[in-house]
Structure 1
């Protein structure tokens, strides 16, 4: 059982994090400051999770006090720039507060796996052989026995050793960050850092400063110069998740990085050379966004040198059950329930579910079932799956009897899928309906309408009226 030390001065956060980690099978101790933490033998821990800002010494002091133990730094968005400096000092990763449970558990699991069999001291680390391609093979990082995933693994193996920019496309929860990590670990840059940035998680007003850094006095509150995340990735890999959310100004700056290999900090007139390999990911249709002016066409073609498409879970056949059994085994062992099994009814329910949240949704469903299970069998009610085929409701115009071929919107082809209906309805009506009216007619939220537009590549009409 891995031992984790939490160093956090806010009791509510400390208690919540402790409960989360204990619930997931970790042995946890806690401290409220660096001074408090240093009273115990820090070398006994497998991981230290520390807030950056603490009473007395900063959390980064633990990196010096425990050089053999990986330190995960927690930081708020307001101090995100300091997290870059933390990684320069030796922190293995950082996580922005507030974080969700899945994000924290993924970070903890990733660090523990990376450091489990790794030499701990700096001298040993310098002498250790690089990770073999067998150890870093994508099949050891991601699970996938179906043909679409085997094609993904083949692409990763081919493109990873190159310096080529990669665009990973896939729905939310399909494992885009895992694919990026596989590309990094199979590359010549594997011994250098991989910096992962969720572009949608950083406020638009901060994104340029976070990525490119800033000079002292560049804006209100810039009391000192700071490196950006791109500089932190110098020599390694930069993974930009949800790159479709980058604002136009940041897109232009990123294009400069790709074209010239240089950055210019906010407020600076001097450029700096950087050597980074860029991997980007999105669930949005960037090509459609170039047509509406939301995404720069020149940047799109710079990013889209090599594209890897991750299939949704519903298209992965027997992988669904394979993943469910792996999650059941791992979660059961972590929660001291190693004998759990899926009933035949549960397996049928898993196979028939659409999994709109993909692998992440499946993992959450299994974890929930393990927690609730009182015996050795996982039944369908524990999985709590809603096996509706789709979350789009047909508008009344499409609810026609077979004897009535007419429609309020003209002749409709028979046997259309719900996505076909959705696309036809939106294209037919978006000139005369607002987004709110379209969503109401389809029986979905405006957010679902927007997300489905991106997935199906249906650009929103730009009108001079006030339709929204």
Structure 2
């Protein structure tokens, strides 16, 4: 039984962590500060989980004091840079608060496995498919093989796949199996950062570079120096930031916002998108030269609907996790529910499957989850909604109608008419809301028409 020391000054969090870890058969000890942890002799434990901010010395002081025992640092989402600094000081990983129970358990298990004296082979660069990725279908075997061959090569990788297919899991597997595995992996969602802040977040800024820049800050690219930088949704990156990123890839140089000095960085870049970057480059929304720099090696993730042999296996694993989260162990899927899961098209992929199973666990009234608990029934369009869509269909040539799926038709209609129609008019013709139109654009990777002057490079 592995021994874990929790160092956390807030008793509620410490107690919750203890209960969670003890349910997974770990032997737990507690401390409220670094001094208290040192009095317990941290080197006799197999793992230390410590908050970053503690009364007295910070949790990072335990990294050297406990060596070679691995230290996991807990920090809030707002303290991303502090977590990065902790990784540079030797922490094996960080856990963001409020933490997800399943992610925490996975991180703990992986850390213990990789740092156990007899488990070096489990974390070897050439190991097989990573445990976090589930599935044995032929399409996933191709993905695993591409990860195994690409990870040690230290080249830029472009991961392409629909939303919810697990692109970040691929990035983590590539990093874990690479020569940079002991260095930081910095994950950034380009779509989640405001356009006005993206350059500062990625490349840093000097004091006074802009209003509110009261101190110089290190960018996330520099924080990943020596390790791996994962840029999710890179198709949302503004053109100015694309130009700066191109410089990083070409010359290994960054320049902070407001600075005239350049700094050299050694970063492996993994990018991910659900959009067609080559098509975006033709419309001027993505730099073609950056696309070619990114696309040294491409890994295509199959959507869930093309992984029929894996769907129920994934569902069973996700169901077990949901049951543990909601303390409803023993729940099973009825035969009808399994049939529904197998036959559903899953436009939201694994993320949608996980949400459906969570609903099922919450709503199930017996030991079985039934189809109505999953909430997967596709609503039938109302008569009022079907009329505009039917009218719009006349614009599609008759011989093409039979060959178009609903998604093909949607894409065809939007691309053909978006130059002449506003978003409101497009939504009305298709019989959907503006929000639905926007969501489908995102899912299918259909760029919006330009409404303002184009930018020149």
The question of a shared fold, defined as TM-score above 0.5 by the shorter chain, is answered with yes
User: Secondary structure of the residue that 1:200 maps to in structure 2?
Assistant: helix
- Partner of residue 403, structure 1: none
Q: Which of 338, 354, 357 is the matching residue for 1:366? A: 357
Task: Give the deviation of 1:96 after TM superposition.
Answer: 6.2
1:83 maps onto 2:83 in alignment: yes
* Mapped partners of 1:204, 1:147: distance in 2: 39
Moved more, 348-357 or 371-380: 371-380
**Number of matched pairs:** 445
Residues of 2 paired with 1:191 and 1:384: CA distance?
43
Structure 1 residues 139, 92: CA separation in 2 closer, same or farther (over 3 Å shift)? closer
In the alignment, does 2:141 pair up with 1:145?
no
SS in 2 for 1:210: helix
User: Do residues 422 (structure 1) and 410 (structure 2) align?
Assistant: yes
Any conservation in 2 of the 1:21–1:28 contact (CA below 8 Å)?
A: no
Instruction: Name the counterpart of 1:286.
Output: 277
Which digits, 9 at most, give the CA deviation of each residue in 1:347-397, with x for residues without a partner? Answer: 101112222221122233334434555654333233332345999x97524
Give the one of 416, 425, 450 matched to 1:437: 425
Deviation at 1:170, TM superposition (A): 1.1
Q: Residues 172 and 31 from structure 1, CA distance in 2 versus in 1: closer, same or farther, beyond 3 angstroms?
A: farther
Normalised to the residue count of structure 2, the TM-score between the two structures is: 0.81
Distance 1:427 1:374, change over 3 A: closer
Q: What do you get for the CA RMSD once the two structures are aligned?
A: 4.1
Which shifted more, 138-147 or 329-338? 329-338
The match for 1:409 among 395, 418, 436 is 395
TM norm structure 1: 0.79
Conserved? CA contact 1:214–1:268, under 8 Å: yes
1:148 and 1:35 mapped to 2: Cα distance?
48
- For residues 21 and 310 of structure 1, what CA distance do their matches in structure 2 show? 37
- Give the direction of change, closer, same or farther, for the CA distance of 1:25–1:399 in structure 2 (3 Å limit): farther
Report what 1:119 is aligned to. Answer: 115
Task: Give the equivalent residue in structure 1 for 2:154.
Answer: 163
Report how far residue 63 of structure 1 moved. 4.6
Instruction: Judge conservation of contact 2:31–2:37 (CA < 8 Å) in 1.
Output: no
Preserved contact between residue 186 and residue 230 of structure 2 (Cα < 8 Å): yes
Q: How far does residue 261 in structure 1 lie from its aligned partner after superposition?
A: 1.3
Cα deviation 1:281-312 (Å, max 9, x = unaligned): 11222223223322222111111122111111
**Are the aligned partners of 1:6 and 1:28 in contact in 2 as well (CA < 8 Å)?**
no
Deviation per CA, 1:260-281, whole angstroms, max 9, x where unpaired?
A: 1122223332222221211101
Asked if residue 179 in structure 1 is aligned to residue 180 in structure 2, the reply is: no
Q: Say which SS state the counterpart of residue 399 (structure 1) adopts.
A: helix
SS in 2 for 1:116: helix
SS at match of 2:75: strand
Cα–Cα, structure 1 residues 243 and 361, in superposed 2: closer, same or farther, change >3 Å?
same
Distance 1:107 1:376 in 2: 26
| CA–CA distance in structure 1, aligned partners of residues 312 and 211 of structure 2 | 53
Q: Is 1:449–2:402 an aligned residue pair?
A: no
Measure the CA separation in 1 of the matches of 2:114 and 2:235: 36
The alignment status of 1:231 with 2:242, answered yes or no, reads no
